[in-house]
Structure 1
Amino acid sequence: MLNLRIVVVNPVAIEGDDDPSFTAQAARSHALRIALLEAGYNIIASLPADLYLPERIAQMQPDMIIIDAESDARDVLEHVVIATRDARRAIVLFTEDEKKSSMEAAMAAGVSAYIVAGLQTARIKPVLEVAMLRFNQDQKLLNELSDTKTKLADRKVIDRAKGLLMERQQLSEQDAYKKLRRLAMDKNLKLAEVAQRVLDANDLLS
């Protein structure tokens, strides 16, 4: 998994002469980049969590997004969630925030791994590998759930179309189903698509 295309997202920091938070975040960001590079990973960009983040992520198409936030990461996480709303990606959050509420919010938002004080180079590779495996497993489950919902919806449409044919053309359930299948084969369409067309045509004529 070392060929992962990674984008690192940091909080938007405003540099100041005596701003300790800026200095601390800059040091963390540098340490994380070094750890990732030493582990052999490909960092394609390091981006601020701003309004342009969704567009930049859409252009770069990374495999994984790493959030580096020393403390409260909610604002950064919101930007990343918006940026990955239409195309989900593995998200790993490195932080110093040990609050259970923050962990629960992050996992609910789709974070694959929540790592506290985990910038050591030796930990990077196993953390990212597990995060990617978990993300892929979650995606598989979501796809299976989506397929199940689609099949149920298709079945309802087909049953409605069968019922309509049975009522309008005095057909048995078996004959109505055969007619839908024959129409689907003739038009090279899915059975559910033909069934929907039958329902739509009836709506127009009624």
Structure 2
Amino acid sequence: MTSALVNLNGPGGAHPLVSDLEAAGIQVLGPVGERSKLVQEVLRQAPDVVICQDPLPGDELFKALQLVTETAPCPIIVFTSDTDAGKITRATEVGVHAYVVNGYGAQRLRPLIHLAQARFVREQSLRAQVQEASSRLEERKVVDRAKGILMRARQMSDDDAFHILRTASMHTNQRLGQVSQHIIHSARFAEDVNRSGQLRMLSQRLVKLALLQLAGVQAARAKDLLKESVLRIDTNLVSLGKSLSQPTFGDLLGQVSISWGRLKLALQDSPDAGDMAHLDELAELFLQDAERMTSSLESAGAMPPLQMLNLAGRQRMLSQRFAKYALLHAMGGTATSQRSESGMAESQAAFEKALQYLNEIPLSSKEIRASLDKAAVGWAQMCAGVSGISKGKDPKRLEGLATASEELLDVFEQLSVQYERSMQMLVG
């Protein structure tokens, strides 16, 4: 039996609509007098049809019916005496399926209910079709974007990128759009982790370059690289500000920006030998803030490959940190000697442990393997050169350290990009 929830608005007393509906074989769930409770009753009783009787419907009725359409869609009939065309248009806009003017006729109740139900079914079908078409269009956009990421990452054709997506879709039993969205998500977090990780490295590189300038070793080049590093930090912070969620990462990014502002100001004052300890202290604070943000991004990405990217990116920082401490050891006095030696030892141990781990993990490719081999050679050469540096500020050995540290940095910069773009990273 068809059930109806009836809303009456008119003179008090019994209304023939309820008895006429019952006589027509319609189960009346109960009249609802207050418009404010209409949606609540529709949700509670789930009628087959909502029927309203109102001689002069107004905003209160139309707003209530709009809420019914949005929260619990069902066939809606309005009986009224109002012939205003504007009201008819409004009724259609809020989802009324039959707006009956000047009475209903008891014998017409069932056909009118059937009409409203048929229109409701048709309307829902059209909505579903529109939603499906919209979903397909959005999925196509997502797939095209994911293909673009794969094409740039691996220099492949459109067809090859689509084949990768389709294969991943079949293997993971996911829709093509879901796989594509995962790739987009992975690529975005990979870029953010890489940019944030660069800040860690640059914190150490800046001090290293300032020390080289102070020692007169490759001074002109060190000055240019220092300017480039400052610009690079500024650019990365702007990019991260646009990419990262403000509610999620805004506080971390804000703290990084504050610590960078202090370090940048100290660099602008052309620090001399007496300022190096303070400069290094500011760089360490900047490093800690950048490390905290990078780790949070890795965790938020919730993808194991991001750990590899973060680890490879951290090697950039450790290479510069090792070189920084070697320079401090060679140029500093007795007060800094012990701290520099301890810093070198810690950096070396962390670097070599991570390098061994990266060589053992399955996430690899021909290019990654070649870069890791090159990194091992470069690291061995830098360690050998550092072991011969004395506190006499030997310009030749210091110059060798400067060159070796930048060459090793280039290798790990390339390796970080390779991890970021690797197919295993993107497809997960």
What TM-score comes out, normalization by structure 2 length?
Answer: 0.43
Residue of structure 2 in register with 1:14 after alignment: none
Residue of structure 2 in register with 1:166 after alignment: 151
Instruction: Summarize deviations over 1:102-126 as a string: whole Å, max 9, x none.
Output: 1111111111001112232111111
**How far is 1:191 from its partner?**
0.6
Residue of structure 1 in register with 2:296 after alignment: none
Residue of structure 1 in register with 2:7 after alignment: 9
Q: Where do 5+ consecutive residues of structure 2 fail to align?
A: 192-428
**How far is 1:6 from its partner?**
1.2
Maintained 8 Å contact 1:90/1:112: yes
User: Which shows bigger deviation, 42-51 or 103-112?
Assistant: 42-51
Alignment of 1:117-132 (within 5 A): 117-132=102-117
The structure with more strand, counted as a fraction of residues: 1
Instruction: Verify: 1:42 aligned to 2:42, yes or no.
Output: no
**How far is 1:50 from its partner?**
3.2
The structure with more helix, counted as a fraction of residues: 2
Residue of structure 2 in register with 1:106 after alignment: 91
Residue of structure 2 in register with 1:157 after alignment: 142
The structure whose RCO (Cα within 8 Å, separation 6+) is larger is 1
Maintained 8 Å contact 1:54/1:84: no
User: Which shows bigger deviation, 46-55 or 123-132?
Assistant: 46-55
Q: Distance in 2 between matches of 1:77 and 1:42?
A: 24
Q: Distance in 1 between matches of 2:129 and 2:93?
A: 20
**How far is 1:53 from its partner?**
2.5
Q: Where do 5+ consecutive residues of structure 1 fail to align?
A: 12-20
Q: Distance in 2 between matches of 1:73 and 1:130?
A: 24
Matching residue's letter, 2:156: L
Residue of structure 2 in register with 1:58 after alignment: 43
Maintained 8 Å contact 2:147/2:162: yes
Maintained 8 Å contact 1:32/1:119: no
Maintained 8 Å contact 1:67/1:92: yes
Maintained 8 Å contact 1:49/1:76: no
Matching residue's letter, 1:10: L
Identity of aligned residues (%): 28
Aligned length: 191
3-state SS in 2 of match to 1:43: strand
Instruction: Summarize deviations over 1:47-95 as a string: whole Å, max 9, x none.
Output: 1233332222111111211111122343123112213312311110011
Q: Distance in 1 between matches of 2:108 and 2:90?
A: 23
Specify the structure having the higher radius of gyration (Cα).
2
Residue of structure 1 in register with 2:52 after alignment: 67
3-state SS in 2 of match to 1:57: helix
**How far is 1:5 from its partner?**
2.0
Cα-Cα RMSD: 1.5
Maintained 8 Å contact 1:93/1:115: yes
State the 4+ residue runs in structure 1 displaced beyond 3 angstroms.
none
Maintained 8 Å contact 1:8/1:65: yes
User: Which shows bigger deviation, 175-184 or 189-198?
Assistant: 175-184
3-state SS in 1 of match to 2:5: strand
Matching residue's letter, 1:8: V
3-state SS in 1 of match to 2:83: coil
What TM-score comes out, normalization by structure 1 length?
Answer: 0.87
3-state SS in 2 of match to 1:52: helix
Matching residue's letter, 2:133: T
